[in-house]
Structure formats: C-alpha cells, structure tokens
Amino acid sequence: MDELIEYGPYLWEGFQVNLGLSAVCAVLSLVLGTILVSMRVSPTPVLRAAGTAYVNIVRNTPLTLILAFSALGLSDQIGLVFSEEPSTNGFWLVVMGLSAYTACFVCEALRSGINTVPFGQAEAARAIGLTFSQSLRMIILPQAFRAVISPLGSVMIAMIKNTTVAIAAGYLADVAFKMKDTFDTTGVSIPIFIGIALAFMAVILPIGLFTGWLAKRLAVAR
Amino acid sequence: MSSQATLLFDAPGPRARLRNHALTVLALVALLAIAWFIYVRFDEKDQWAPEIWQPFIEARTWTGFILPGLIGTLKAAALAAVFALLFGAVFGLARLSDHRWVRVPAGVVVEFFRAIPLLLLIFFIFYLLPSLLGGGDYILFALVAGLTLYNGSVLAEVVRAGVLSVPRGQSEAAYAIGLRKTGVMVRILLPQAVTAMLPAIIAQLVVLLKDTALGFIVSYVDLLSMGFRIIPPNFPGALIPAAIVIGIIYIGLNMLLSAFAQWLEKRSRRSRKSSARPIAPPSAIPSLGPGAGPPSDVVTLK
C-alpha cells in the first residue's frame, strides 16, 4: 500500500494524460468516423471505394504499428511536427494515430446502425424530395446514431484502454509508462497495479452503464 | 451498380446524375491531391530512393529478418490463441454453472481482465515474474500470458453467449429423454453452440493477432520489432519501407482471417445442423433483434 500512496500523485499525473488523450480522441474519432460512413454510403463510387479502402487498411493494422509509424516514420523521417516541444508533439501524434484508428470502428458501428433504419424511412425521405445528403443528415444518421449508442460506447471504452499504447509513439507520459517507470525503481507492486486497474474501471464502467441507459431511453420506437 | 436504386438514393435523374458526376470529379481531384501531397513530402525526404527499397527484393532480407519476425509474431499468436481458447472454454462454462461459488468468482475474473488495458497487464506480468521466480527471460511468457488472460476473458463471454443462444427447447428435450447435466452440455448444447460461436471466435483471434504487436513495447522480437528496431540499423534509411512492408503483411494476415470468419458465418447461417444462430463477434454490433430493419443485403453499402 505504501508504494501506491508514495507514487500516487506521480501516477495520477499519468492517468490525467490518458483522460486528456481520451477526450480529444473521442471527439476527433466520432467526427472522422461520421465522415467516413457518409463516404461509404454515398452515391459516388470513388468516395465509396476510398472510404472502404481506408477502413479495411487501418482496421487491420495493429495500433502499435500505427503509433510507432506516426512517431518514427511520419514525425522523425518525413518531418510532420505539430510542435517544437517534444511532449506536445508526442501528445498530438498519439491523438492523430489513435483517432485515425478508432474512426474505423466508429464508421463500422454507424454503418451497421444505418442497416437498422427501415427501408420506408429512406423511401419516404426520397418521396418528399430530399436529396442524398439531406436524407442522410436529417433522416438516416439521426436514427442510425440512436440505434448504435451502446456499441459506440464499447468503441469508446476500447479507445480509452488503447490510450495506454501511447508509449509506442515515444510519448512517455501516460500511466502505463509511469507504472513501468515506478516498477523499474521500486520493483513490482501489486497495490499500484490494482490501483491503476480500478482507476480505469472507474472511468469505463460508468460509460458502459450510461450508454446502455441512453440507448434504452433514445431507442427509436418502431 | 450506379443506376440501381438503393436504400439511400434512387436511380438518379438528370440533375442528380450531373451532381453525382461533379461529386465524382471533385472527389477524384481531392484524392489525387492528397496522394500527390504524400508523394511530394516523401520525395523531399528521399523516401522513394531505390537504395532504401532495394533490400526488400533481396532474399536475405526476407530470410534473415522478416521471416524470423513473422515467426515470432505467429508463435506468440498461436500460443496465446490455444491458451485463450482453453481459458475461455473453462471460464465461459464456469459462468454458466449452477453453483454460485463457481459462477461468481469466474464472473469476477472475466470482468476484471476484460476491463483493464492489455498493455498494463503485460507490463505487470513482465515485472511480477522475475520477483516471484528469479531472473530469466520472461518476455514471451508475459506477452502470451497477457494476451491469454485478456482474450480468454472475451472468449469466455463468447462461449457463454454461444451456449445461451441454443434454444431452450433443446436442453428441455435432452433432460426429458433422461440425460444428465453433463450429457446435456456435452452432447446437445456445446456441439450446436460451437457452430454459432465460430465466426465470433475467429474475429477475436484477429484482435489477438493484432495485439501481439504490443510485444514491440516489451522488446519481444516480432514482426514489428524487426521493422522498426532491427531492419533500420542494418539498412540505413529503410525505416519507412520496412514499416510499409510489415504493415502489408499484418493487413494481409488479418484480412485472410476475417475472410475466413465471414465464410464460416455464411456457411453456418445456411446450415440446418444447429438450431442456434451465429452470435455477433464481441467487438461487433449487437443486432437489434429480428425485424429491427431490412436485412443487410438490401442496402448497397459496398
């Protein structure tokens, strides 16, 4: 227990980094995922193909590879730099990689949500003269979002857990790195591990419960 | 294809056709601009120089570096897959037990390992083992153990859902003809549940294969370590080509496995041997029940 109390503030700093990464990535991946799903159902074959190719490629690549490539490849070799400050640069590289990765899963969740929208809804939308983008924006996507709230919650939970892979991008500030760092100095400590695990659960469980509750509340009555 | 009516758009009329053509041209220009931008940025840093791509058409790069890395990845994945399936079977069935003292602890274990980030688990095992068992090389062990506990817990849920997906009449009929609990499970429920579970199990194995890349962080010599740590010093400047080559290998492997899962799912949907419907993979989206929407093949979402 002593180690947990002694290193608590140090580890808490790391956990806040994970929370920050999660918050930014949640917004970016939801936006990017919505754009991707619009591409994948659009009447333009070029956009459809581009969306499908992106999702299939990125979804099948290990996140560790994406993050390591962002840092070692894109940043070091190609010169993609968000900030002169290395820690700020690392933060945004992780945000970029993790959002690009999570967006695929958001896109797939939304796409299955679109499949739950009854045919009649889209037919009615067309019958009153809405164009593709209008019916997508005003009729289909709102219903699709409501149908996949709880799967989107699972995607977000997986994303929050994935923030610990930030080490792969050379961003040494998150709680996984700080736990490893602490173990390097004090040796293994079970209370520290359990403490961090409980901290993650304290974030993840409410999200699961909340999205489950929200999904029931907002379910489209049919 | 373009003249077909689909869920979201009709066969286009003259105005919509014009708009679609304009959109196609715009999209093409935008995509080409992105491709051109990437090409130029890579070109500025000499990433298209033949010298750095040269190693990847030589046999010794493959036999000396890439194949050993691939074997490392596949070894960790195969070991973890076998243990995770065992773990999943044991804990999935334990959660279905009639005895509370079996059911509750199994539930706690499964929920705990599912909720914690996999990398933390691998680090913990990696540091725990030397202090318990003394010095030694525990990298592979820590990686496999972490993958087993996490994916095994997810598979336990799959097993549970699979057994529960067999209609109740099946076990009632089995009890009625005099089978005992074990007989009902082994002879009636499991054979039907396995058919329903297979696609979900393969989908989880894709996740497992992708997660072996975490071994990179604990310096396990896998495909990813080869690409980022071992090839670049041996072939100066070849980091980006190496990353692209190993990326293609990962994507190819995963797509093969996914295609296999889809084929299995189609087959088991057609099959009448099992009365259980295929269950959704754990990472996928639960269907909203029959009649919630049109079957997915109505929508053209290619």
Residue A109 contacts B where some CB pair is shorter than 8 Å: yes
Q: Among B7, B239, B246, select the one facing A119 at the smallest CB separation.
A: B7
- According to the model, what pLDDT value does residue B9 have? 66
pTM of the predicted model, to two decimals? 0.87
**Closest C-alpha among A109, A116, A200 to residue B296:** A116
> Which residues, 6 or more positions from A31, have their beta carbon under 8 angstroms from its beta carbon?
none
B109, B116, B250: best to mutate for the A interface, most A CBs within 10 A: B116
**Closest C-alpha among A11, A168, A203 to residue A94:** A168
Q: Are A115 and A84 in contact (CB under 8 A)?
A: no
**pLDDT by residue (tens digit) across A36-70?**
999 998 888 889 999 999 999 999 999 999 999 98
Q: Are B192 and B275 in contact (CB under 8 A)?
A: yes
Lowest mean pLDDT among A118-132, A137-151, B258-272: B258-272
Q: How many CB pairs under 8 A join A and B?
A: 190
Q: Count of CB atoms within 10 A of residue A39's CB?
A: 20
- Where are any strands of DSSP class E within chain A? none
A-chain CB neighbours of B287 within 8 Å are: 116
B-chain CB neighbours of A117 within 8 Å are: 7, 293
* 302 residues of chain B, pLDDT tens digit each: 333 445 566 677 788 788 888 888 999 999 999 999 988 888 888 788 887 887 888 888 788 888 888 999 999 999 999 999 999 999 999 998 888 999 999 999 998 998 889 999 999 998 888 888 877 778 888 999 999 999 999 999 999 989 998 888 998 999 999 999 889 998 889 888 888 888 889 889 999 999 999 989 888 888 888 888 888 888 877 888 888 889 999 999 999 988 888 888 788 777 766 667 777 766 543 333 333 333 333 333 32
Residue A158 contacts B where some CB pair is shorter than 8 Å: yes
Q: Among B8, B206, B243, select the one facing A41 at the smallest CB separation.
A: B8
User: Domain residues of chain B, as ranges?
Assistant: 13-45, 50-281
B-chain CB neighbours of A65 within 8 Å are: 213, 224, 227, 243, 246-247, 250
**pLDDT by residue (tens digit) across B92-122?**
999 988 889 999 999 999 989 988 899 999 9
Q: Are B84 and B202 in contact (CB under 8 A)?
A: no
Q: Among B20, B228, B283, select the one facing A44 at the smallest CB separation.
A: B20
According to CATH, the topology of domain B50-281 is: MetI-like fold (1.10.3720)
Most distant pair of Cα atoms in chain B: their distance: 77
Interface confidence (ipTM) of the complex: 0.89
- According to the model, what pLDDT value does residue B272 have? 67
Domains present along chain A, CATH in parentheses: 17-172 (1.10.3720.10)
Residue B2 contacts A where some CB pair is shorter than 8 Å: yes
